[in-house]
Amino acid sequence: MSIEFKEYYKMSEIQLIEKVKKLPTAYQKEVEDFVDFILEKKINQPKMEKKRILGLLKGKMKMSDDFDTPLEDFKNYM
């Protein structure tokens, strides 16, 4: 990072803090809650894999009609 960028970043942090200080206490608490929400949502959670698409294999597999009937091999165990 360049020195100019670091100074600008520090300045904007200070400006943000000063703005928050001007808010009523109840709103400061809302700002704090929002920051906590962002930290929890974006920073502290591991990256999620792509979500699965439901129904992608619909119609490509078939289950036999007698799927739930007991198998002869397990007759002694039931």
Instruction: From first to last of the 78 residues of the chain, give the pLDDT tens digit.
Output: 566 666 666 768 888 899 999 999 999 999 999 989 888 887 766 666 778 888 888 889 888 888 888 888 888 887
Token pair 């990072």 is at which residue? 1
Task: Take residue 12 and report the two structure tokens written for it.
Answer: 């904007």
CB neighbourhood size of 16 (10 A): 11
Which one, of 27, 39, 40, lies nearest residue 19 by Cα? 27
CA dist 65 and 62 (Å) reads 9
